[in-house]
Structure 1
């Protein structure tokens, strides 16, 4: 599947996407109302201020700083060890004025761009990842683009300022949805052989991904990607059709905007509150969207 605009893949493009994502977050923070701590968002337990603090805490950590471990109050919205780790950074900045947090983000952007401009760095360079794990720089950059952009969208939604939906970071998140789609359909749903599901984004990031459930070599039902353009995949699809000529092929197509799709995939908007159009089986479409969340 081809996305337009395409997600950045090379390190200079990922760094530029990161710069743009951070710049957009900073500008949004500068223009936010004074009462950011009182404005709730669809990210459970977090206000607008908390999203800014979250990004500042992680960027400080990835810039080589210490990650705080502080006393946390209400944790009813925390669902995992990773979630608790992130909560420490948010809590550490809850009493810091929003303007000061945004100033911190401005400094961090300058420092991070300087570090990431090192000509010796490559996509495979080992770097510090979340919770002390070592990951590649390419993996970290993709994660940072997704994280910063999703939280920017959380703030935008809370403030009623929807935008920045055609950015490199938006394309990276869309690319992750596309890459995860066949696995999600196969592992989280029990669809019969012959059932095809197509997911279409109308933009600003446009694209289409699909999967058809087919019989594997041992008769099991497995996902078969659509629109891959791969000859082996196409040949396998034809062989499956010929091997099961009496099997009914049913297709359900789900169409959404980039905003609706990414908000659902981030788990911020329920299926019931998501605007989408279906051609085919409504129940299948609803089950697919219920299963579509890809964020931790």
Structure 2
């Protein structure tokens, strides 16, 4: 059996991203594994540990039995604690141990994908003892791996793949959260519209419209009189939406037209990935 057609796009995006990650870290010497990345509080080693850990969970391997140190001050939520477990347990692993485990896990996951015969709506375990559909899991892993590939590229000074299959999965995931940011979190007024115009490797224009009940929706039709227009490049959009930079740090890369207070409120809440 092969991957279900509705899962194939995510499987391809995941494969492209994880193979890029493996190529990026394969030649690194020991000290380079400790380089800081744009992902808050995580090093190169930490990101690769996270990828390994999440892929082992997709394989159904048991989570490690491990107690987190009390001085990990960046770990503030249950979700962060869950994710940190797979990271902290590998913090003293050597470079050969890291690359060997990553290679082994990717071989096993590739075999799993080739033999996948479950329906996309099959429920499987999710973090924090929740459940998710297989399709959601595939999409999440493709998105997560592409974002972390970009973290590694930034840390190692090797830019690339901003228009790879994973980039388009990331676009869709990030845009899905935009109506909530504009309508609920930034409090855009009922009847208003906010336009986001992104150029670069991945180009798109989207309008978030807030209805009379204060609920947001998104479409690709331009608004004739938006309350705010935000224009930026794709890389900056990703860095903002994934919480890699604050709005003030990239102010020169974001052009704002319209209500400056609303624009500021949106940009301050633009990060949609969990901490």
Q: What's the TM-score, normalizing by structure 1?
A: 0.82
Q: In the superposition, relative to structure 1, how do residues 224 and 12 fare at CA in structure 2: closer, same or farther (>3 Å)?
A: closer
Matched, 1:223 2:216: yes
Question: 2:132, 2:187 → 1: CA distance?
Answer: 33
Per-residue displacement from partner, 1:238-286 (whole Å, max 9, x unpaired)? xxxxxxxxxx954321112111111111111110112212233333322
Q: How far off is 1:38 after superposition?
A: 2.9
The equivalent of 2:81 in structure 1 is: 84
Which structure: larger Rg?
Answer: 1
Paired residues for 1:76-155 under 5 Å: 76-118=73-115, 120-155=117-152
Question: 2:248, 2:29 → 1: CA distance?
Answer: 30
Judge conservation of contact 1:200–1:209 (CA < 8 Å) in 2: yes
Per-residue displacement from partner, 1:80-136 (whole Å, max 9, x unpaired)? 111111111111111111232122111211111211222522312232322343321
* Alpha-carbon RMSD: 2.3
Larger mean Cα displacement after TM superposition, 153-162 or 188-197: 188-197
Judge conservation of contact 1:182–1:210 (CA < 8 Å) in 2: no
Q: Which residue, out of 65, 68, 71, partners 1:72? A: 68
- Which segments of 5 or more consecutive residues in structure 2 lack a partner in the other structure? none
Question: 2:154, 2:147 → 1: CA distance?
Answer: 10
Q: In the superposition, relative to structure 1, how do residues 53 and 226 fare at CA in structure 2: closer, same or farther (>3 Å)?
A: closer
Per-residue displacement from partner, 1:182-228 (whole Å, max 9, x unpaired)? 122111022234532111221311112112334x2xxx444354436
The equivalent of 1:183 in structure 2 is: 180
Q: How far off is 1:37 after superposition?
A: 4.0
Secondary structure at 2:175 match in 1: helix
Matched, 1:24 2:17: no
Judge conservation of contact 1:69–1:89 (CA < 8 Å) in 2: no
Q: Which residue, out of 262, 274, 277, partners 2:238? A: 262
Question: 1:212, 1:185 → 2: CA distance?
Answer: 9
Q: Which residue, out of 275, 280, 286, partners 2:258? A: 280
Question: 1:80, 1:36 → 2: CA distance?
Answer: 29
Question: 1:249, 1:207 → 2: CA distance?
Answer: 19
Matched, 1:54 2:47: no
Judge conservation of contact 2:195–2:226 (CA < 8 Å) in 1: no
Judge conservation of contact 1:127–1:134 (CA < 8 Å) in 2: yes
Q: In the superposition, relative to structure 1, how do residues 224 and 43 fare at CA in structure 2: closer, same or farther (>3 Å)?
A: closer
Q: Which residue, out of 37, 41, 57, partners 1:41? A: 37
The equivalent of 1:170 in structure 2 is: 167
Q: What's the TM-score, normalizing by structure 2?
A: 0.88
Judge conservation of contact 1:11–1:122 (CA < 8 Å) in 2: no
- Which segments of 5 or more consecutive residues in structure 1 lack a partner in the other structure? 1-8, 230-236, 238-247
Judge conservation of contact 1:264–1:293 (CA < 8 Å) in 2: yes
Per-residue displacement from partner, 1:29-66 (whole Å, max 9, x unpaired)? 11334313431223232111111111111111221211
